[in-house]
Structure 1
Amino acid sequence: MNLQQIAALLRQDQVVAYPTEAVFGLGCNPLSENAVKKLLNIKRRPIEKGLILVAPHWDFLRPFIAFEQLNAEQLSRLQQKYDRPTTWVVPAKSDTPHFLTGKFDTIAVRLCDHPSVNALCQACGFALTSTSANLTGDAPCKTADEVRLQFGEHFPVLDESVGDAQNPSEIRDLLTNRLFRQG
């Protein structure tokens, strides 16, 4: 499918697969509880784990992050460019839906400069949920064909390539710098 078709499905609260820096992600409108629950069901992922949100710039992520809880050093680290994709676990605004945060009072966010993520966010006007496109326990998909093999030939996939990153994003806690997942 092309970008316009995928963006239309996202605006209709559907779940799609799209390329990110290293693997395909499963995404939907993070403000749609119905869409997020579809995603969790497809992925077989427990709601308690929470989800990552990706966007090309902070304007898309502001509705979810409690920026007032961050000091200048943390803000600087959050906005810095890194050699590899880096997801930050940050304080969530109190009204961030639990279907995004899971059992936490934090939200995982990543600035993503992949052209497909940028174009989809611009076309839809919102950040995207991002969890690797794979069934729990299987390897993340690196091609559109792999997505179709795992999720079916009619699953909506943006037919573009993943980026050059070798591994999915590193995940760190912004407040403590604790490493949750090596990138």
Structure 2
Amino acid sequence: MIDKHPTLSQWHLQQTRLILAVGGVIAYPTEAVWGLGCDPWNSGAVNRLLELKDRPAHKGLILVAASVAQIEFLLAPLENSLRARAIECWPGPVTCLLPDLNRQIPSNVRGDHDSVAVRVSDHSLVQQLCETAGRPLVSTSCNPAGRQPARHSWQVYRYFGEQLDKVIPGRLGGQKKPSQILDVATGRWLR
């Protein structure tokens, strides 16, 4: 049996860590589509990613994490019921809108919202990337605004060519649709 999500080599992980540390933007396979990512606390990297996508900053971006522990700082201020509602969705293809009560996420990631979109991924490659970075990463679909998200690496290169600092090798997970979105404050499913 072939492992659909093989472990990245130490070389790939080390290179990715260095690229993210200096404000690079990467592309990588996620559960359903290719994603663009960067360090959410590096405003230059986030602004560059938004420019590449031609995405307005007011819309906000998703954060992806390797584990609940990586986003504990966002969960800790929440009421126990909201915290539990989010945790029961993870790991998996569910993005939760978490109230950012202490404004811990930069405004160019959060957008014009009081909450931040967060997913704890069950895709092993995404987990490896977040663990290597030592923090959650920005995760947004790999496509210019108005275009279909990339589902193949050749589409990543067609859209962005040499504008990216690294394209991480790997395969998509088994999801056919983008992640569901749950507003944990209201319990409403938005997608």
Same fold (TM over 0.5): yes
- Structure 2: tracts of 5 or more residues without a match: 1-10
Superposition deviation, residue 94 in structure 1? 2.2
SS in 2 for 1:61: helix
Aligned length: 179
User: Is 1:177 aligned to residue 187 of structure 2?
Assistant: yes
Partner of 2:3: none
Partner of 1:88: 96
The partner residue of 1:5 within 1, 15, 19 is 15
Moved more, 145-154 or 115-124: 145-154
Q: Residue type of the partner of 1:113?
A: D
**What's the CA shift string for 1:15-61, capped at 9, x where partnerless?**
11011111111000011111111110111111101111001112222
Superposition deviation, residue 113 in structure 1? 1.5
**8 Å CA contact 1:13, 1:32 repeated in 2:** yes
Partner of 1:147: 156
SS in 2 for 1:167: coil
Partner of 1:48: 58
Superposition deviation, residue 154 in structure 1? 6.2
Superposition deviation, residue 7 in structure 1? 2.8
User: Is 1:68 aligned to residue 77 of structure 2?
Assistant: yes
The 1:81/1:179 distance shift into structure 2, 3 A limit, reads closer
Aligned Cα root-mean-square deviation (Å): 1.9
Superposition deviation, residue 6 in structure 1? 2.7
User: Is 1:134 aligned to residue 143 of structure 2?
Assistant: yes
Partner of 2:116: 107
The 1:145/1:3 distance shift into structure 2, 3 A limit, reads farther
**What's the CA shift string for 1:79-99, capped at 9, x where partnerless?**
114696100001113242111
**8 Å CA contact 1:6, 1:157 repeated in 2:** no
Distance 1:29 1:83 in 2: 21
**What's the CA shift string for 1:107-139, capped at 9, x where partnerless?**
010110111111111111111101100111111
The 1:127/1:34 distance shift into structure 2, 3 A limit, reads same
**8 Å CA contact 1:50, 1:99 repeated in 2:** yes
- Structure 1: tracts of 5 or more residues without a match: none
Distance 2:58 2:97 in 1: 15
Q: State percent identity of aligned pairs.
A: 37
**8 Å CA contact 1:21, 1:114 repeated in 2:** yes
Q: Residue type of the partner of 1:32?
A: N
Q: Residue type of the partner of 2:81?
A: E
The 1:83/1:130 distance shift into structure 2, 3 A limit, reads closer
Distance 1:83 1:95 in 2: 22
Superposition deviation, residue 76 in structure 1? 1.7
Q: Residue type of the partner of 1:22?
A: A
The partner residue of 1:167 within 155, 171, 177 is 177
